[in-house]
Amino acid sequence: MGFTDRDKAGADKLFGEAVELRKNRDADSLENALSKLYEILRCYPHTGLAAKLASRQNIKNISLEGVYREALDARKALDERLADESGEKYQS
């Protein structure tokens, strides 16, 4: 396996992990999925996958920007839920 083949395989592996994490839809999983996508850009910048992510293309219905927004929304919802729950404790 050549250098570029290893890069492609590494990027594909990270992307597969991001796809699986995204399926969970919780804040931590989405943030981890986003981290995997950024890792592709950082570690495998010369791959076609990194080029597509950087140019905001959808790949198998996933984009860097989309996962970023999903992670932000999930974290915001979790923070609001936790704030509501802690407020209920103090009101009791």
* pTM reported for the whole predicted model: 0.86
Is the pLDDT score of 59 beyond 80? Answer: yes
For residues 84 and 46, what is the distance between their CA atoms, to the nearest angstrom? 45
Give pLDDT tens digits for 2-32: 668 999 999 999 999 999 999 999 999 999 9
Euclidean distance between CA atoms 69 and 84, whole angstroms: 22
pLDDT in tens, 68-77: 999 999 999 9
Higher pLDDT, 85 or 7: 7
pLDDT of residue 92 exceeding 50? no
* Nearest of 26, 60, 53 to residue 38 by alpha carbon: 53
